[in-house]
Every structure is written in structure tokens, then in C-alpha cells.
Amino acid sequence: MKATYKKHILNFKRPSGTSRGVITEKETWFLLLEDNGKIGVGECGLLRGLSVDDRPDYEEKLQWVCQNIHLGKDNLWNELLEFPSLQFGVEMAFVSLEAETPFKLFPSDFIKGKEAITINGLVWMGEEAFMKQQIEEKLDDGFTCIKLKIGAIDFQQELDLLAFIRKHFDEKTIEIRVDANGAFSPDEALEKLQLLSKYQLHSIEQPIKAGQFEAMRELCQQTPFPIALDEELIGVFTYEDKVKLLETIRPQYIILKPSFIGGIKGSLEWIEIAEKRNIGWWMTSALESNVGLNAIAQFTYTLNNKMPQGLGTGGLYTNNFDCPLEIRKGQLVYNTDLNWNFEI
């Protein structure tokens, strides 16, 4: 078996604001396997500034993977514990190599085009008219759940925008999730959650910065509406530490980004631990190309979670790879009439 890797730069259609500033491009890495005339493709979806494996020795570790590919998927996964995006890339590449075709990783009614995955729509904060226009477009497109980023502008202005949205769209018409990306301080978080709760929100992601376990635990106990952990899961490597985190904080939900948490095996560990404690979860992408998004979507479908998933990111780039994934009526579908065009 031969293994090689290649770096690829994805260009955003519009500058994307995150809690780490504005980004115009994103690097990603592909692990390519060849064996007996078959190929396997895995994406190592590193996100600079947020991935725990954003380290100077990242490429060196990828070289090591290629040199030691004979160890196999499971042994490599164990060796790559501190490199979750490489763990996912390795898993994806081996599943791809063994599959009927490199991009049909998990046989199901989803890749037969018979079933779809409900997803949330992302709405950008802005002027009232712009917000109303975006939400009307999402409703016209069939979305029943939207996600809003908060914490970037004046909080009162954000409350006013939520009030404006609810004046025009009730909770039966549109489910609203908000993501604070850790923007609130522990001292003010509960008061802000109480103010936000007036607007019938489904949940809030990561209200305070990760790593403040006691403060987050208290918040999860006292919150007037559900809290979902996101960044909190980054850098928690062992099964025992995952148990300890969820036992300590006891959130209402966790959000799983396979590129951040050790891919398929890492996600399944979190799900097993969460479900034993009646903690809900949903899956989201982490700005991967369509290669990684395809793997996450196919994997997610097999888990039979009916909540809206965060998998609507395929249209963010000018130079993504053509593929069968499409968004129709608020759902991600696999259009069997379309083909892959993967050239790097």
C-alpha cells in the first residue's frame, strides 16, 4: 500500500467572520491511499486557531502517517490521539479504500438518493431588513431550523434582532439555535441567558469559554433553556476524560465535529457516553471541503438522529469539489445523477 498527502487551499466566497476573526481561505490536507489499483481519499480538516492539532509538527506527523500506513487504521488512530483531524483523515481514507467507490463510504438509503438529512440554515447577524430577508429565504427554501451567531455585536442589539424575528416568525414556524462561541463572561452569563430565554430559543452553544468546568456546570444547572457544549470537547482525548467532562458539566446537548474530536471512533465514544446520561447531540461539519462533508453526512445518516444537523457548509467556497451533495428544502440530499470531480 502506498500513502501520499497533499495540501489544498479552499477560498471562501465571502470573508467569513468567526470568533477568531475574519477568514478568507482555509487550508486542508488530503491523505491518498493506493492499493491493488484502488484508491482511498481522506480529508484531514485542520482549522487554524481552533483545532487542538494546530501545531508546528502537523505536516511532519502527516509524513509519519504515510511512512507508517502499514500499521493499519486502528493502530494509527491510537498513535494519533493528539491529532484528531489526522485520526479522521486516516479513518476516512481506509473506509474509502475498502468501499465500492472512493466516495460511497457508508452504504445507506441516503447515498441511494432515497432519504435526506434535515439540516439547520445559517443566518448572519445584520440590519433588521437583512435578517428578515435571510429568514424569509430560509423558510422559502424549506428550512425549519436556523442558527444565529451571537456575541459579535452589542448584546442589546442582538436581543432587539431576536425580538424582531419572533415578532414575524413564531417558534412553530422556525426553531432558533444561537451560538455564542464563548462570548459571555461567567459573571454575566446567567443573566444574559435569562434575557435570551424570552425568545423561545432551542439552545445556546458554548455560552462561556471552554475550560471553566465549575462555572459551566452551574450554568447548565440553572439555565432557563438548553446549553450545548462545542469547543468544550476539543482536546479531550481519552474515553475516561470524556466521561469525566460530561459527568462534571452535565450539559443538555453536545455538538460533534469529527475533525475536532477524533473522527468516527471519537464521535461514537462521545455519543455512547452522552446517551447513557440522557445528553442529546447533533453533528456538524468544521468547514471541511465536500470530501470531508460527504464522509460526515454519510456517517451521520447511519446514526439515525432526527434533529437538524449542522451540515450546510458545502456552498461556502469558490473552489470546492463538484459532488452529488445538494441542499433541497432544508435537507441535505445525495443526488445520484451527479458525479464527483476530485482533482487536486
| Rg of the chain on CA atoms, in Å | 20
Q: Do strands 121-123 and 117-118 pair parallel, antiparallel, or not at all (unpaired)?
A: unpaired
Q: How far is CA 275 from CA 9, 27, 82, in A?
A: 37, 34, 25
DSSP assigned state of 307 = S
Active-site residue, 257 included: yes
Grid coordinates belonging to 34: 493506493
Enumerate residues 6+ apart whose C-beta is below 8 A from 186: 208, 212, 215, 219
The yes-or-no answer on residue 276 being catalytic is no
- Check 104, 192, 209, 257 and give the catalytic one: 257
DSSP label of 208: B
Q: Is the dihedral of CA 312, 155, 153, 229 positive or negative?
A: negative
Active-site residue among 149, 192, 209, 242?
Answer: 149
Query: Distance between CA 209 and CA 230 in Å, rounded?
Result: 10
Q: What is the DSSP letter of 326?
A: E
Long-range residue pairs from 243-251, CB within 8 A, at least 24 positions apart, any chain: 243/273, 245/213, 246/273, 246/274, 246/277, 246/279, 247/277, 248/213, 248/217, 249/213, 249/216, 249/217, 249/220, 250/217, 250/220, 250/221, 250/277, 250/279, 251/216, 251/220, 251/227, 251/279
Measured between alpha carbons, how far is 1 from 256 in angstroms, rounded to an integer?
Answer: 31
Q: Is 315 exposed, middle or buried (0-12, 13-18, 19+ CB in 10 A)?
A: exposed
Longest Cα–Cα distance of the chain, Å, equals: 61
Residue with cell 487551499: 9
Secondary structure class of 85 (helix, strand, coil): helix
Catalytic residue set: 149, 257
